[in-house]
Amino acid sequence: MLIENVADAFVAVFELKILGLMALGVLAGLIAGAIPGFTITMAVVLTLPFTFGLSTIEGLSTMIGVFVGGLSGGLMSGILTGIPGTPSSVATTFDGFPMARAGRPGLALGIGVWSSFMGGIISAVLLMTLAPQLARIGLEFGPWDYFALVLFALTITASLAGENLVKGLIAGALGLLVATIGEDDINGVARFNFGTDALKQGFAFLPVLVGLFAFSQLMSDVQDTKSARKPLMEKGAKAVRVEHFAAIRAIAGNWINLIRSSLIGVFTGILPAAGGSISNILAYDQAKKASKRPEKFGTGYSEGIVASEAANNATAGGALITMMALGIPGDIVTAIMLGALLIHDVVPSPSFIGDQPVLAYSIFLAFFLANFLMLGTQAVALRAFLLVTRIPMYMLAGVILAYCAIGVFALHNVEFDIWTLFWFGVLGYTMRVLGFPLAPMILGVVLGDIAEVNLSRAVAISDDLTLFLTRPWSLFFLTIAVFSAIFPWYQKARGRKTWTLLFLPVLFLAIAPPLFMMGGVPRPAVGGILVAAGAWILFSRHRKGWKLEPPEEHEVHLEET
Amino acid sequence: MKALNRDTIVAVILLLFCGAFYAASFRIEETTYATIGAEVWPRLILAVMFALSAIYLVQSVRKGPPVAERPSGGFFGRYRNAILCYLLFLAFLLTLDVLGMLLGGIAFVFLALSVLGERSPKMLATHAVVAIVSVGAMWSIFTFALKVILPPGIILSVW
């Protein structure tokens, strides 16, 4: 079945036009990802209007190309100038830049590129094999479980998005509220249209997103006149020759680190809301802990580059697994991808892979191919990146603003969408200035309808609200939502307050009961392992007299990737 | 009177916003066929948002008045570029029916670049070229390749 689906998808994707579009997408993503201040999200958002006129597979393949290219682009500026192009490549600079300064920029780039490629391929394989399995699990979900999953996604995004959890949650709630404006999906009743016809249809997803995210970011980029007038990179970056063979040799001696980091990336991506900005730091920390020479990290050590780059590219596959199997975006970029799918009349859900296998596997295959294209176009992108860095930010910002207007108009051919872009641009910028994270709001806008429809279904089936606590999956998601809400306090107090020593074992013990409730053999077995692990951690910490350990070097925060 | 910190003001605005939307939710049509009314979900969100805004207010009041941290150049000085860009974009929108996407877009890009960048004759010429080439290219791609009918505006329609 898998082979049949892959073969059909192969026929659909292996067209010259699609490959060309994907190569363009990868190239655009590589360049955008390499420019500090530009994010992968922005690149994907700006690509979206170009895909309206394309077929579903063509459009989505192009956007996946941008996504994969963007994840790999960040390493170029990070290694050559010490400024990470995207937050996904922050940890790459820890060793990539010192290695480049020590006279091996070609090797550093090579290790980065090949680690990205390998991380991407590992996650593509897992995407193809795990997404259908996760979708099968998703078929067990009732509306209660879906509603709890959305709450969990919003809570974890808010908790990881900034220092102030309350601001993150307010942003998430505001996003949900924005999604309620216009005609209600269930009853067909207009809400909050304040007597205007234009608002009866509600806000289109794309203008809201471009306004909130791209418009407001461009305004932040040009806020300071001096820096806006300077070329994108004052330090400048010199052209270098990528040392492919030396890099492959270095990675071959580092394969355990590569696989571990890729797995960290994939599983971080599967978690709703956690993206490449988190996985690269996590993988770097784990690589350092597991290394025989941890003191070499930060001095231009290849293991550090491998860990960071393998993890951030692998995250994309993980995020796509959740989106394709459950219809829940793994991070902001996949939230936009979900929007793109909806624009192309594709609605991901647990039954989607089974119902439309060719399309689903075409998306998987496009992700797989995009990693090869990334490898092939890196050299061209490096040259283009060197040219783009000479342009001042204000010029790019002005041109992109006009492009945003044209792009959102192209969606429905109505001027109201450009007004939406404008007002949400103002709102997004204001929120940035006031320190409200945008990620929860964007997720709120995307997930609002899903939450409402499932709540409505749940109430229609039974007015017993305790079902939210007695159904295993719902209880599971609500439990981890509570722990994710506590996470910011845990992160701040870790290493200083004794109660933080309880966080992990209590989490293990708390998520075990819903696993026991699920029945069968594997899940209760996992629950048993979690109980044993939680008890063991508690016991060992008690034996050590609840001694606090020094906190990790790098805090985990979700940034706009 | 002690100066209010920015968060306190924002929290109060959010509380008022929740109140206004809650009041507006009473204008949502009630249906007889629905198991869950169209107003229930927005009210639930507003209740949560109100509670969170109240917590935010308490947090901000506890934080106390701001330490003298007025930015140099005042509010307009700090956010000048963003405010001017938003105003230019607003002007672009208001004149869209007259100028259309092509002329309006070129005018917007040229003015935005000239406001944000240097205004020497050489740079103004550069801005004009960038505006014409970039907007012209985008307009051509959308009009001819993607077959999107962009607003022509009165001026180009008359031509």
Cα(A26)–Cα(A40) distance, rounded to whole angstroms? 11
Using the Cβ of B148 and the Cβ atoms of chain A, whether some distance falls under 8 Å is answered with yes
Cα(A165)–Cα(B56) distance, rounded to whole angstroms? 10
Work out the mean pLDDT of chain A and round it to a whole number: 86
The two three-digit tokens of residue A253, written as one number: 């001696």
DSSP A396-446: HHHHHHHHHHHHHHHHHS-THHHHHHHHHHHHHHHHHHTT--SHHHHHHHH
Size of the A and B interface in Cβ pairs below 8 Å: 169
A170-207: pLDDT as tens digits: 999 999 999 999 988 888 888 998 888 888 888 988 88
The verdict on a CB contact (< 8 Å) between A452 and B147 is no
Give yes or no for residue B120 having a pLDDT over 60: yes
3-state secondary structure B78-126: HHHHHHHHHHHHHHHHHCHHHHHHHHHHHHHHHHHHHHHCCCCHHHHHH
Residue ranges of B 78-97 with Cβ closer than 8 A to chain A: 78-82, 85-86, 89-90, 92-93, 96
State which of B42, B63, B84 marks the end of a domain.
B63
Name the residue among B46, B55, B151 with its Cβ closest to that of A415: B151
The two three-digit tokens of residue B124, written as one number: 């103004």
In terms of Cα–Cα distance, which of A386, A261, A305 is closest to A111? A305
Q: What are the residues whose beta carbons fall under 8 Å from the beta carbon of A54, sequence distance 6 or more? A: A21, A62
Using the Cβ of B140 and the Cβ atoms of chain A, whether some distance falls under 8 Å is answered with no
Using the Cβ of A556 and the Cβ atoms of chain B, whether some distance falls under 8 Å is answered with no
User: In the predicted model, what is the mean pLDDT of residues A396-407?
Assistant: 89
One domain, residues B84 and B152: yes
Using the Cβ of A443 and the Cβ atoms of chain B, whether some distance falls under 8 Å is answered with no
Name the residue among B38, B49, B116 with its Cβ closest to that of A184: B38
A209-242: pLDDT as tens digits: 888 888 888 898 888 888 888 876 665 556 678 8
The verdict on a CB contact (< 8 Å) between A223 and B78 is yes
Give yes or no for residue B149 having a pLDDT over 60: yes
**What DSSP designation does A201 have?**
G
Using the Cβ of A485 and the Cβ atoms of chain B, whether some distance falls under 8 Å is answered with no
The verdict on a CB contact (< 8 Å) between B42 and A180 is yes
One domain, residues B59 and B115: no
The two three-digit tokens of residue A5, written as one number: 């689906």
Complex-level ipTM: 0.93
Q: Crossing angle, helix A165-180 and helix A143-161, to 10 degrees?
A: 130
The verdict on a CB contact (< 8 Å) between B148 and A419 is no
Name the residue among A174, A399, A426 with its Cβ closest to that of B49: A174
With cut-offs at 50, 70 and 90, classify the pLDDT of residue A553: low
With cut-offs at 50, 70 and 90, classify the pLDDT of residue A390: confident
Helix, strand, coil shares of chain B, percent, nearest 5, are: 75, 0, 25
**What DSSP designation does B38 have?**
T
For testing the chain A interface, which of B10, B25, B52 should be mutated: the one with the most A CBs within 10 Å? Answer: B52
Q: What are the residues whose beta carbons fall under 8 Å from the beta carbon of A223, sequence distance 6 or more? A: B78, B79, B81, B82
One domain, residues B50 and B78: no
User: In the predicted model, what is the mean pLDDT of residues A128-152?
Assistant: 88
- Which range in A28-32, A162-166, B16-20 is most confidently predicted, on average pLDDT? B16-20
With cut-offs at 50, 70 and 90, classify the pLDDT of residue A434: very high
One domain, residues B25 and B91: no
Q: What are the residues whose beta carbons fall under 8 Å from the beta carbon of A4, sequence distance 6 or more? A: none
Residue ranges of B 6-25 with Cβ closer than 8 A to chain A: 6-7, 10, 14, 21, 24-25
Residue ranges of A 44-103 with Cβ closer than 8 A to chain B: 50, 52-53
A486–chain B nearest CA distance, Å:
15
Using the Cβ of A28 and the Cβ atoms of chain B, whether some distance falls under 8 Å is answered with no
One domain, residues B46 and B93: no
User: In the predicted model, what is the mean pLDDT of residues A140-145?
Assistant: 91
Using the Cβ of A455 and the Cβ atoms of chain B, whether some distance falls under 8 Å is answered with yes
The verdict on a CB contact (< 8 Å) between A406 and B150 is yes
Expressed as residue numbers, the domain containing B102 is 74-158
- Which range in A234-238, A249-253, A392-396, B122-126 is most confidently predicted, on average pLDDT? B122-126
The two three-digit tokens of residue A22, written as one number: 């994907």
Using the Cβ of B41 and the Cβ atoms of chain A, whether some distance falls under 8 Å is answered with yes
Could you identify the residue written with the tokens 């929290």? B11
Q: Is residue B51 part of a domain?
A: yes
Using the Cβ of B153 and the Cβ atoms of chain A, whether some distance falls under 8 Å is answered with no
Using the Cβ of B134 and the Cβ atoms of chain A, whether some distance falls under 8 Å is answered with yes
Q: Is residue B69 part of a domain?
A: no
The confidence score (pLDDT) of residue B1 equals 47
State whether the Cα torsion A448-A453-A458-A460 is positive or negative.
positive
A426 vs B contacts (CB less than 8 Å)? 86
Count Cβ atoms within 10 A of the Cβ of residue A197 and give its class: 0-12 exposed, 13-18 middle, 19 or more buried. Answer: exposed
User: In the predicted model, what is the mean pLDDT of residues B145-151?
Assistant: 84
B155–chain A nearest CA distance, Å:
18
The confidence score (pLDDT) of residue A65 equals 92
Using the Cβ of B99 and the Cβ atoms of chain A, whether some distance falls under 8 Å is answered with no
The verdict on a CB contact (< 8 Å) between A422 and B89 is yes
Give yes or no for residue B136 having a pLDDT over 60: yes
The verdict on a CB contact (< 8 Å) between A177 and B10 is no
Could you identify the residue written with the tokens 């917590």? B55
The confidence score (pLDDT) of residue B132 equals 96
Minimal-distance CA residue of chain B relative to A416: B93
User: In the predicted model, what is the mean pLDDT of residues A346-358?
Assistant: 85
Backbone angles phi, psi at A392, to 5 degrees: -70, 150
The confidence score (pLDDT) of residue A316 equals 86
Give yes or no for residue A250 having a pLDDT over 80: yes
One domain, residues B84 and B59: no
Greater model confidence, A561 or A193: A193
State which of B20, B40, B63 marks the end of a domain.
B63
A174 vs B contacts (CB less than 8 Å)? 49
E-state strands within A55-197? 182-183, 190-191
Q: Is residue B1 part of a domain?
A: no
B140–chain A nearest CA distance, Å:
11
Using the Cβ of A184 and the Cβ atoms of chain B, whether some distance falls under 8 Å is answered with yes
Cα(B88)–Cα(A478) distance, rounded to whole angstroms? 46
Q: From residue A425, give the alpha-carbon distance in Å to each of A33, A247, A420, B83, B114.
A: 22, 43, 8, 11, 21
B21–chain A nearest CA distance, Å:
8
A318-347: pLDDT as tens digits: 888 888 888 888 677 888 888 778 777 788
The verdict on a CB contact (< 8 Å) between A413 and B59 is no
The verdict on a CB contact (< 8 Å) between A405 and B105 is yes
Greater model confidence, B31 or B121: B121
State whether the Cα torsion A236-A239-A242-A243 is positive or negative.
negative
Minimal-distance CA residue of chain B relative to A221: B82
pLDDT above 70 coverage of chain A, percent: 94
A460 vs B contacts (CB less than 8 Å)? 35-36
The SS3 assignment for A183 reads strand
With cut-offs at 50, 70 and 90, classify the pLDDT of residue A303: very high
One domain, residues B46 and B113: no
Cα(A31)–Cα(A284) distance, rounded to whole angstroms? 24
The verdict on a CB contact (< 8 Å) between A219 and B138 is no
Interior CA angle at B106 toward B104 and B110, to 5°?
Answer: 115
Name the residue among A169, A399, A426 with its Cβ closest to that of B134: A399
Work out the mean pLDDT of chain B and round it to a whole number: 89
Give yes or no for residue B107 having a pLDDT over 50: yes
The confidence score (pLDDT) of residue A558 equals 52
Q: Is residue B108 part of a domain?
A: yes
In terms of Cα–Cα distance, which of A359, A363, A450, A440 is closest to A138? A450
Spell out the alpha helix ranges (H) of A82-104: 90-101
Could you identify the residue written with the tokens 């191919």? A369
- Total domain count, chain B: 2
What B59-66 contacts at long range (C-beta under 8 Å, 24+ apart), as own/partner pairs, is B59/A164, B59/A166, B59/B7, B60/B5, B60/B7, B60/B8, B60/B10, B60/B11, B61/B8, B63/B5, B63/B7, B64/B5, B65/B2, B65/B3, B65/B4, B65/B5, B66/B3, B66/B5, B66/B6
Using the Cβ of A413 and the Cβ atoms of chain B, whether some distance falls under 8 Å is answered with yes
DSSP A332-398: HHHHHHHHHHHHTT----TTHHHHSHHHHHHHHHHHHHHHHHHHHHHHHHHHHHHHHTTSBHHHHHH
